[in-house]
Structures are given as structure tokens and as C-alpha cells.
Amino acid sequence: MRLRDAAAASHATASAARDTSHLALVSQRESLDDFLDEASEMLAAASNVHDLCSVGDITGEFELEVADASARHDEAVAAVAISADHLRDRSRQLRRAEKMVERVDLDRARVDARGEQRMNDDLSTRRR
């Protein structure tokens, strides 16, 4: 049970990290989109090649940040998939262990019932 609980906690942590990385990715994309909306004004106001290059450089930086955020999100998604597999494995192990305990309890109850039946049979035959 503890292994399953640990796997569940790990999965919850990985899911939270995935959600956080998704929000960061969305934020980076929105920042890029906002800059691109403003870039047309910057390009129109550019008076030399240096101004044009700076717009390209800033765009490149935003694209790199989006690429980094996307890579982090992909890693987080992979971590969630791995933790989900571990959680399923631990849940299966727990169900198997619970079934084994049930079988042992049933077998023990059968043996006890047979023993009691034999004892009652022996007692009833002695009384006669």
C-alpha cells in the first residue's frame, strides 16, 4: 500500500509539474505573439539596418524561450507517462497482494471449519 501511495504522490507531483510547464509554455507563446504584434510598428519605424536586426534578434530570443519551454513541457509530459506506468504497476501489485491475502484467509477458514467439524463429529460420536 505504501508503494502505491508513493507512486500516487510521485504521479501527482509530475502532473503538477506538467501543468506548470504547460502554463509557462502558453505564457512564452503569448509573449512572442505580443512582441510580433508590436514588431510591425518597430519595423515600420526602423531607420537603419541595426534597428531591423534588433527586431530579428529579439524575435529569435523569444523563439528560443518558446523552444526551451516546449522542451521542458515535453519532458514533463514524458515524466507523467512514466509515473502513470509506475502507479498502474503498484496498483496491480496491491490488488494481487490483496487477492493472495483473501485466498489465504479463505483457505485458513476452510481448514478451521474442517477442524471444528471433525472435533464436533468426534464429540458427537463419543457421546453415544
DSSP helix/strand/coil, 125 = helix
Q: What is the mean pLDDT of each run of 10 residues along the chain (128 residues)?
A: 80 92 95 90 86 90 94 94 90 90 94 86 68
Q: Residue 78: give its domain's CATH number.
A: 1.10.287
Count of domains observed in the chain: 1
pLDDT of residue 1: 66
Q: What is the dihedral of CA 50, 56, 58, 64, to 10 degrees?
A: -150
pLDDT of residue 128: 55
pLDDT of residue 22: 95
Which residues constitute the domain of residue 65? Answer: 2-127
Q: Are 68 and 29 in contact (CB under 8 A)?
A: no
